[in-house]
Chains A and B, each alone.
Chain A
Amino acid sequence: MKFKFFGNVIGTSSFLLASVTSLHAQSDNILASISNDLNRFNTVATITKQNEHYQPYIISVFKGKELETLGVSNLKEALHLVPGIDFATDNYNNQTPIFRGSNSLAYGQTKLFIDDIVVNNLFFDSYSEYLGMPIEMIKRIEVVRGPGSKTNGVNAYAGSINIITYAEDFKDFESKDKMVFKYASQDYRMAGFIKKFKTENLQATVDFYYQDDNKRLQAGPDGYSQGSMSYQKPAGSGTYIYDNRGFSQNGDAPVWEKDYSLSLNLKYKDFTLKGRSLDHTQGSAYGINLSLPQNNDRLKLPSHYLELGYNKDINNFHLDIKAGVKLDSFDSKAKLAPSGMSFMDVPNVVNGTANDIDRVLFANGIFGEHLAKQRTLYHSTYVTYKGADKHIITAGYRLLEEKTIDMVSKLSSWSTGDAALVDYTVTYPFFNKNAKRDIQILSLQDEFQYNNKINFIYGFNYEQTSYEDAGFEPRVSMVYQQNLNNIFKAIYSRAHRNPSWQEMFTANNNASIGSTDLKPEKVDAYELAYIRKFSRDTYLQTNVFYLQNKDQISNSAKNASYRNIVDTDIRGVELEYSGNITSSDKLYLNYSFITGSSKTTDTGMTSSLTNVPQHLAKGYYIYNLNNALSLSGIVKHVGSKERIDGDYRNKVDDYTTLDTTMTYNNHKNDYALSFSVKNIFDADVKYPSKPNTYIEDYTQEGRKFLLTIRKEF
C-alpha cells in the first residue's frame, strides 16, 4: 500500500514535473521565437530607416510608391522636396542639388549612393547623369543633410543621397515585378521594367529603363555677348584685338537627354554582386565655350560599376568586404564656336611660335571632340564587433585608385581655321591624360548605448591621398529619447571634399585651369535637432545647423585658375512636418531658413551668402478619394538669391510652382494610371549663371504634363 502510495506520489510528481518542464520548454520556444521576430523586424526597420528619428543624423526618407502617387517623375523631382535643397546648373547643364547653401558653384559636396555604391563621376564629382533616374526604379530615397557616417569611408561633405532600388527585399516584404511607361511634354518617352528571380540560395533583380526627350529651353544671349572668345589687350582696357561679341546668339539650348540603363543585383548566400550600366547622353546645353551649340551636339556621361561583396556574421563579429570598379567618362562632340569668328592660333601662341595678333578666320566655326575616360578601383573591409556590453565597435579601411585611362582632345585647326578636326591630344590637351590619385581611409567608430534613452556614436576617419591629405576628421553624436514623443539630437562632425578632377587636371582652357596644389574643402558642422512625435507617423522635426566651411574652391571669369579662396559660415533652421488631417490623406511640409557670410580670402572681401535662397518651402498633400482614386498636389517656393561680389545683375527672382496629379489604382489587376500637370501656373524658374556668361541666367521648364502607366506582376 505504502509502495502504491509512494508510487502514485512519484508518478504524479513526475507527471507534474514533466508538465512544468514541458510548459517551460514550450514558453522558452515561444519567447525565443518572439525574440527572433523582434530582431528580424528590427533589422528591416533599421535598414529601411523606419527608425530614422532615432538615428544620429538629420535624415529625410521618401518612399518610391508615395512619390509615384504624387506624380514625381524622377530623382531630381524627388530631391526638390527635401528640406534645404536647391538646385544649380552650369553651361554643361550639369545639374546638382545644393544642400543648405553650401558652395553652389562646386560639385561633389554631396554624394549619391545607389544601393550603397557611390556613383559620383570622377570628372566633375557630380551625378547629374543619374538625376533623371525614373522614380519607378526607386524603392526609397534617404537624404542625410550634413556629413554622414564614418563607417563607409565616403566623405559626404554637405549631405548624401542614398537610392535604394527594388533589389532590396526582406522576408514578408517582397516587392513585385513591374513594368512602366511614361509620356510627357517635349516628347518625353520612357519604358522600363523590374524583374526578380529567386531560388533557395540565389536572389537576382534586374532593372532596365530607356528614356529620351526632345527638350529645348530658351537661352541667351550666350556668353559671347560678355566677351567669351574675345580678347582685349591690355586686359580690361576695352581695346579689343578680337571682338567676337557680335557672334552672340539667342535661341533654344539643346538640353535633351537619352538614357539606357541596365542593372543586375545578385545575392548568393553571403556574397553579393551589384552592377549597373548607364549610357547617358545629353544635348550640349549652353556650350563648353559658352556659345549656344547646335541641336545635335552632345555630351555623353556614361557610368558603369560592378561591385562584389561578402558579408558574414561570425560569432560577435560582422565582416563586410567589398571590391569594385567604376568607369565614367566625359565625352563631348560639339560645335564650340560660331561660323565666321576670328581668333588667334592659341596653341602656337602658348608655345611661343605664333603671335597673339596673328588672326585666324574660322569660317565654319570651331568643332571639338573631348574625351576623358576615368576608372576607379576600390576595396574596403569593415569589421563590426557586437560582443561588448552596450558597445558596437566598427573599424576598417577603404582604398581607392582613381585614374584617367583614356583622353582625346580634337579641335578644328587652330593654325588654318579649317573646320576639320585635328588631333591635339598630345600638343594641346584639354585634360591631363596621366591624372591619377590614390586614397587610403581608416575609420573607427563606437556606438555606445548608455541606457534606454541615450545613445552616443563617436568615431573618426583618417584620410591620406597622393595629393593634399584631409587628415583626421572626427564625428560625435548623441541621441536622447526623453520619452516616446520627444527626441533630441546633437551632432558635431568634420568632413571634407577632395578637389574634383575638373578642378585639378583641366588644362588649356581659358575658362577653367586646374591645379594639383588644391587642398580639400573642409567643413565643421554643428547640428541640433528636436523631434516631436505626435503619433507613430506624425511628427515635427526641427533642427538648427552651423557650418564653418574653409578653403572652398572657386574660380571666376577674371581668374580661371581654381583656388582655395572662399571661407563660408552658414547658419540655418529646418522644419519638417509629416502627418495627416484625416484618415484618408497625408500632409508633408518643410521650411528652411539659410543665412551666413562668405569671405573671399585672396581679396579679403566679405559678403552675404550668394546664389543661395534664404527661404525654401516645400510641401505635398495626398488625398485618397477612395481605395482607387487619389488626388495630390506639390508646392515649392524658392526664395530670391543674391549675386556674388562684382556681379551687378538683379537678384535671381524667387518662384513658386504648383504641381497636381490624379492617380487611379486598380488593386484587382495591379495597375495604376497617373496624370500630372507640373508647374501649373507656368512660373518663371531660373537657375543663376556665373557672371559674364549667360546674363539672363538658365531658364528651366515651364508648364508640362506627364502620363504614367504602371503594372505590377
Chain B
Amino acid sequence: MKKILFLYLTLVNIVFAYNYDDVILKAQASIFPKIILLDKKIEDKLIDGKIIYTIVYNKDDYLTALSIEKFIDKNFQGQLDKYDYKINLVEFENFSLKTEASAIYVLNQSDQIENIATMAREKGIISFSYDINNLKKGLMFSLVIEKSTVLYLKKEILFTKKIEFVDALLQMVRFVEKDYSYQNDKNFQNRLNSRIYYASIFSR
C-alpha cells in the first residue's frame, strides 16, 4: 500500500509539459481567425489595411507553427472576410511591442507568456492561446475539447476598451475567472445576457 501511495504521489508531483494535439490545433486555426472579425474595432487593428495574425512560438515548435500557417492559408486562401491577412511567425524572444500584429496566437513552452500577454494588452489586440492554462497569464481566448468543444474567454476582456466583441459572441463563449472555475454568480450570468449587461452599464 505504501508503494501505491508513493507511486501516486510521485505521479501527481511530476513536472508537466506539452505535446500538441492535432484536433485542437486545427480547431483553433479554423475558429480563432474568424473571431478577429467579430471585434467591432477591427479597423483600428489593421496594419496597411491587412489583418496580421502573428503566431508566437518556441523555436522547437517551428514546424508546428508552420503547419498552422499552412492550414490557415489552405482554409482562408489569404482572405478573412473582406480583409486581406498575413501570417507572421515570431519566436517568443523576438516578440516585442514593435512586432506587427492585429492578433496573436500563442503556442506553449515559454516563461515569457505573461510578458507577451502584457504586451498584447498594451497594444490592445486580441490574444489567443493554445493552452487554456495560459489564460491565467493574461491571454484572452482558448478553445478546449471537453465533452463538447468549448470556447473560453477570460472574463476581464469585458472591461477592455480597445476591443469590443459583438454581443452574440459573448453568448457563445464560456467565461473563466483567474481560478478557472466556472462562473455561477448572478451578476456574471447577467453579463452573458448582453441586454441586461449593457443596460446596467448605461444606468450607472
Partners in one complex: yes
**Min C-beta distance of A288 to chain B, whole Å:** 43
Is there contact, CB below 8 Å, between B34 and A34? yes
Within 8 A of B (CB), among A106-124: none
- B4 beta carbon closer than 8 Å to chain A: yes
Is there contact, CB below 8 Å, between A34 and B22? no
Within 8 A of B (CB), among A452-504: 452-453, 455, 479, 481, 483-485
Instruction: Give which listed residue, A28, A48, A583, contacts B23 with CB less than 8 A.
Output: A48
Selecting from A268-276, A335-343, A534-542, the interface stretch reads A534-542
Given contacts A27-B168, A41-B145, A41-B149, contact A575 B18 (CB under 8 A): no
In the assembled complex, the Cα of A583 lies from the Cα of B60 at a distance in Å of: 9
Q: Mark B55-75, 1 if CB is under 8 A from A, else 0.
A: 000101001000000010000
Is there contact, CB below 8 Å, between B4 and A536? no
Is there contact, CB below 8 Å, between B19 and A37? no
- B144 beta carbon closer than 8 Å to chain A: yes
Is there contact, CB below 8 Å, between A479 and B147? yes
Is there contact, CB below 8 Å, between A540 and B11? yes
**Min C-beta distance of A454 to chain B, whole Å:** 11
- A577 beta carbon closer than 8 Å to chain B: yes
Is there contact, CB below 8 Å, between B38 and A38? no
Instruction: Give which listed residue, A27, A536, A587, contacts B24 with CB less than 8 A.
Output: A536
Contact size class for A? 35 or more
Given contacts A41-B145, A484-B144, A581-B15, contact A35 B172 (CB under 8 A): yes
In the assembled complex, the Cα of A39 lies from the Cα of B108 at a distance in Å of: 25
- B119 beta carbon closer than 8 Å to chain A: no
Instruction: Give which listed residue, A33, A34, A535, A627, contacts B16 with CB less than 8 A.
Output: A535
> Which A residue sits closest to B168, measured CB to CB?
A31
Given contacts A34-B34, A50-B21, contact A581 B12 (CB under 8 A): no
- A19 beta carbon closer than 8 Å to chain B: no
In the assembled complex, the Cα of A54 lies from the Cα of B21 at a distance in Å of: 17
Is there contact, CB below 8 Å, between A31 and B38? yes
Is there contact, CB below 8 Å, between A26 and B31? no
Given contacts A51-B146, A537-B19, A627-B63, contact A452 B182 (CB under 8 A): yes
Is there contact, CB below 8 Å, between B18 and A44? no
Is there contact, CB below 8 Å, between B14 and A579? yes
**Min C-beta distance of A116 to chain B, whole Å:** 20
- A532 beta carbon closer than 8 Å to chain B: yes
- Residues from chain B with a CB closer than 8 A to the CB of A573 are 4
**Min C-beta distance of A120 to chain B, whole Å:** 30
In the assembled complex, the Cα of A44 lies from the Cα of B17 at a distance in Å of: 25
Is there contact, CB below 8 Å, between A580 and B19? yes
- Residues from chain B with a CB closer than 8 A to the CB of A173 are 22-23, 26
Is there contact, CB below 8 Å, between A41 and B23? yes
Is there contact, CB below 8 Å, between A536 and B21? yes
Q: Mark B19-56, 1 if CB is under 8 A from A, else 0.
A: 10111101100110011011000000000000000000
> Which A residue sits closest to B148, measured CB to CB?
A42
- Residues from chain B with a CB closer than 8 A to the CB of A452 are 174, 182
- Residues from chain A with a CB closer than 8 A to the CB of B147 are 51, 54-55, 455, 479, 481
- Residues from chain A with a CB closer than 8 A to the CB of B97 are none
In the assembled complex, the Cα of A44 lies from the Cα of B149 at a distance in Å of: 10
Is there contact, CB below 8 Å, between A581 and B17? yes
- Residues from chain A with a CB closer than 8 A to the CB of B133 are 535
- A593 beta carbon closer than 8 Å to chain B: yes
Chain B CB within 10 A, most for which of A48, A536, A584, A593: A536
- Residues from chain B with a CB closer than 8 A to the CB of A44 are 23
Given contacts A173-B26, A584-B60, contact A593 B4 (CB under 8 A): yes
Within 8 A of A (CB), among B152-204: 166, 168-169, 172, 174, 180-182
Chain B CB within 10 A, most for which of A34, A50, A584, A587: A34
In the assembled complex, the Cα of A30 lies from the Cα of B34 at a distance in Å of: 7
In the assembled complex, the Cα of A591 lies from the Cα of B7 at a distance in Å of: 9
Instruction: Give which listed residue, A42, A45, A583, contacts B18 with CB less than 8 A.
Output: A583
- Residues from chain A with a CB closer than 8 A to the CB of B37 are 26-27, 30
- Residues from chain A with a CB closer than 8 A to the CB of B81 are 26, 30
Chain A CB within 10 A, most for which of B7, B14, B144: B14
- A138 beta carbon closer than 8 Å to chain B: no
Is there contact, CB below 8 Å, between A33 and B34? yes
Counting from the closest, the 8 A-B pairs by CB-CB distance are A54-B147, A41-B27, A580-B17, A42-B149, A538-B16, A45-B145, A577-B11, A27-B166
Q: Give the B-binding residues of A (Cβ under 8 A).
A: 26-28, 30-31, 33-35, 37-39, 41-42, 44-45, 48, 50-51, 54-55, 172-173, 452-453, 455, 479, 481, 483-485, 532, 534-538, 540, 542, 573, 575, 577, 579-584, 586-587, 589, 591, 593, 627
Other A-B contacts than A38-B148, A483-B182, 14 sampled, CB-CB below 8 A, are A27-B37, A28-B168, A41-B27, A41-B30, A42-B148, A45-B149, A172-B71, A484-B144, A536-B18, A540-B11, A575-B4, A575-B11, A581-B15, A591-B7
User: Can you list 29 pairs linking A and B with CB atoms under 8 Å apart?
Assistant: A26-B37, A27-B37, A27-B38, A30-B81, A31-B38, A34-B35, A34-B172, A38-B148, A39-B149, A41-B26, A41-B27, A41-B145, A41-B149, A51-B146, A51-B147, A54-B146, A55-B147, A173-B23, A479-B147, A535-B18, A536-B21, A537-B21, A540-B12, A579-B14, A580-B18, A582-B17, A583-B17, A583-B60, A589-B11
